[in-house]
């Protein structure tokens, strides 16, 4: 309806403009025709005056020559206020007389009544002489529209002219009957054509809109059926090349990302539940066993408490990791950058992990010690410390007894690198692309021989996230039977 209303307004304005243009153009054409006729009469009068013995005879001959079918020509003598000649009447009989009669005609010339020519449509303008007499002397041509006694109006032009020693006014008049008929026909055509055009355009626009919006209806119906459990469904794409097709493609891409995010969330919840279930079950079992025996020896009670304490620490670590990942995914883990030295931070982490390495009988060395060079860096100290600790913890877990783990921090051309090397069995080829996925347990990657490594599969994922948050990256640089190298790259330096 809005389209029809706007289009109707446009068509109405176009119709009015068209009608005004036709009216103005036809009026201008009539005025131009009258002016050309008056100019031709003036030129003919000058020519005839040089050939005739009197101006009256010249006027009569010229007016008789310009006897057009649809236009009246008249010449007024301003000094007497009488018409010297008009093409509606016959030429005066004195025109064909001798010179003496011509001289007499000079003083008594005037239009003589006669019957109009057969088939002529030139207007009969009442009071034409008085109208011409009002033309200003020596002024420009004057155009006037007058009433012709109840019939069509008449357009009259009065051209002041100096003919020899006389001031005359050349008048040309044309009926506006043809223009009136033209405007009436144009008005009828516009009154009929504009509503018909509006009806056809509205019906066509409505049909095209319905056809064009059918894909939108289909997409809306499909979108109403898509929920959390049906995110695998996609919107129909009728034509991938048009605007609606591209919109549907963009929405399908959004649905694919949402589906992937929901899958990751479901997998995250399932993996977290699985990781939390084992230590909770152990804690509950040990507590129930300890409570079931009131006279249990102190050694057994202490052993049960040690198990519960160990599993509680594991639970605490898992919960902290889950909390960190949840805040990171939600964008609610703000960085608290401070000025620090990466070499000192790495050395502190190595010293903190030596007790864990000794418990597994793994040698832990800091290759950066004694380098005599500081590595200034601006970043979140707690997160960077957690990144290095996770890399060291991962290396110690998968290094067999008697093995060796080393940390080497270096300054590179584009920043700093912190490489953690171990002498474990390496990462299997099929697991290398998923080693940084959340909850992808390392014990499935490194072989059955190290199935007791433990962990929740979050350490490497958190380490990579910390590095990326600081504009860097953590990668598995090399791996094989002789060991693996994980390298953290940070910008700066």
Q: Are strands 473-480 and 142-146 parallel, antiparallel or unpaired?
A: unpaired
- Read off the DSSP letter of residue 52: S
- In tens, the pLDDT along 213-231 reads 788 888 888 888 887 777 7
- In tens, the pLDDT along 350-401 reads 998 898 899 889 999 988 765 667 888 999 998 999 899 989 988 998 899 9
**Residue length of the chain:** 493
Res. 488: pLDDT tops 90: yes
Q: Which of 116-130, 270-284, 364-378 has the lowest mean pLDDT?
A: 116-130
Backbone dihedral region for residue 127 (phi beyond 0: left; psi -120 to 50: alpha; all else: beta): left
Report the percent of the chain where pLDDT is more than 70: 82
Q: How far is CA 43 from CA 87, 161, 162, 163, 444, in A?
A: 17, 11, 12, 10, 115
**Residue 51 binned pLDDT confidence (cut-offs 50, 70, 90):** low
164 vs 170: CA distance, rounded Å: 14
Record the tokens describing residue 205, joined without a space: 């626009």
Task: Give the DSSP H or E segment for 74.
Answer: strand 71-77
- Mean pLDDT for the stretch of residues 42-49: 80
394 vs 386: CA distance, rounded Å: 12
- Read off the DSSP letter of residue 90: P
Q: What share of the chain is helix, strand, coil (3-state, %, to 5)?
A: 55, 15, 30
353 vs 341: CA distance, rounded Å: 19
Task: Give the DSSP H or E segment for 108.
Answer: helix 99-108
- In tens, the pLDDT along 174-224 reads 888 888 899 999 999 999 988 999 899 888 888 888 887 788 888 888 888
- Contact between 406 and 388 (Cβ < 8 Å): no
Range list of β-strands (E), 397-448: 404-411, 415-422
The candidate with the shortest Cα–Cα distance to 376, out of 349, 344, 401, is 344
- Mean pLDDT for the stretch of residues 61-85: 76
Q: Within 13 A of 403's CA, how many CA atoms are on the CB side?
A: 21
Q: Which of 116-130, 295-309, 385-399, 457-471 has the lowest mean pLDDT?
A: 116-130
Q: Where in the chain is the domain with CATH 3.30.565.10?
A: 337-491
Q: Where in the chain is the domain with CATH 1.10.287.130?
A: 243-329
- Contact between 486 and 473 (Cβ < 8 Å): no
Q: Out of 2.60.120.460, 1.10.3720.10, 3.30.565.10, 3.30.465.10, which CATH number does the structure's domain 337-491 have?
A: 3.30.565.10
- In tens, the pLDDT along 424-477 reads 888 888 888 888 887 766 444 444 344 445 566 788 888 998 999 899 999 999
Res. 109: pLDDT tops 80: no
Is the domain spanning 243-329 CATH 1.10.3720.10? The answer is no
Tally Cβ neighbours within 10 Å of residue 484. Answer: 25
Q: Is 447 helix (H, G, I), strand (E, B) or coil?
A: coil
**Residue 52 binned pLDDT confidence (cut-offs 50, 70, 90):** low
Residues 6+ apart with CB under 8 A from 216: 244
Report the percent of the chain where pLDDT is more than 90: 17
**Residue 279 binned pLDDT confidence (cut-offs 50, 70, 90):** confident
Q: Are strands 71-77 and 166-175 parallel, antiparallel or unpaired?
A: antiparallel
Backbone dihedral region for residue 284 (phi beyond 0: left; psi -120 to 50: alpha; all else: beta): alpha
Q: Are strands 337-341 and 376-380 parallel, antiparallel or unpaired?
A: antiparallel
Q: Where in the chain is the domain with CATH 3.30.450?
A: 2-182
Q: Is 396 helix (H, G, I), strand (E, B) or coil?
A: helix
Q: Out of 3.30.450, 1.10.238, 3.30.70, 1.25.40, which CATH number does the structure's domain 2-182 have?
A: 3.30.450
Its pTM stands at 0.49
């Amino acid at each position: 309806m809005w389209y029809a209303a706007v289009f109707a307004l446009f068509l109405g304005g176009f119709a009015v403009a068209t009608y005004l243009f036709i009216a103005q153009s036809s009026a201008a054409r009539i005025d131009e025709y009258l002016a050309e006729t008056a100019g031709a009469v003036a030129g003919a009068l000058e020519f005839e005056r040089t050939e005739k013995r009197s101006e009256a005879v010249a006027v009569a001959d010229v007016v008789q020559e310009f006897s057009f079918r649809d236009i009246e020509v008249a010449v007024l003598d301003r000094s007497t206020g009488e018409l010297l000649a008009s093409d509606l009447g016959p030429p005066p009989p004195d025109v064909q007389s001798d010179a003496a009669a011509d001289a007499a005609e000079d003083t008594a010339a005037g239009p003589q009544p006669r019957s109009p020519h057969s088939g002529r449509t030139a207007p009969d303008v009442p009071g034409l002489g008085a109208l011409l007499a009002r033309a200003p002397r020596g002024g420009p041509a004057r155009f006037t529209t007058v009433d012709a006694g109840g019939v069509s109006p008449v357009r009259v032009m009065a051209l002041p002219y100096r003919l020899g020693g006389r001031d005359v006014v050349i008048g040309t008049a044309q009926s506006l009957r043809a223009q009136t008929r033209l405007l009436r026909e144009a008005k009828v055509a516009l009154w009929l054509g504009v509503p018909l055009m509006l009806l056809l355009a509205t019906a066509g626009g409505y049909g095209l809109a319905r056809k064009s919006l059918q894909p939108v209806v289909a997409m809306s119906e499909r979108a109403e059926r898509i929920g959390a459990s049906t995110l695998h469904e996609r919107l129909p794409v009728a034509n991938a090349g048009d605007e609606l097709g591209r919109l549907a493609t963009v929405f399908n891409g959004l649905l694919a990302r949402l589906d992937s995010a929901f899958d990751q969330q479901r997998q995250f919840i399932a993996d977290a539940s699985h990781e939390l279930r084992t230590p909770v079950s152990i804690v509950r079992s040990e507590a129930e066993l300890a409570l079931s025996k009131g006279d249990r020896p102190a050694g057994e009670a202490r052993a049960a408490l040690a198990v519960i304490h160990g599993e509680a620490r594991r639970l605490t670590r898992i919960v902290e990791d889950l909390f960190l990942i949840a805040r990171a995914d939600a964008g609610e883990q703000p960085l608290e950058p401070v000025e620090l030295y990466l070499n000192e931070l790495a050395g502190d982490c190595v010293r903190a992990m030596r007790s864990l390495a000794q418990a597994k009988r793994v040698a832990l060395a800091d290759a950066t010690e004694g380098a005599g060079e500081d590595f200034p860096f601006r970043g979140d100290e707690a997160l960077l410390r957690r990144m290095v600790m996770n890399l060291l913890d991962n290396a110690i877990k998968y290094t067999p007894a008697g093995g060796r783990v080393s940390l080497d921090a270096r300054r590179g051309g584009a920043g700093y690198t912190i490489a953690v090397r171990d002498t474990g069995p390496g990462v299997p080829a099929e697991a290398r692309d998923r080693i940084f996925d959340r909850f992808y347990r390392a014990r499935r990657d490194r072989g059955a021989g190290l199935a007791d490594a433990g962990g929740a599969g979050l350490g490497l994922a958190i380490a990579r996230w910390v590095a990326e948050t600081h504009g860097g990256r953590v990668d598995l640089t090399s791996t094989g039977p002789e060991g693996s190298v994980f390298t953290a790259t940070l910008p700066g330096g």
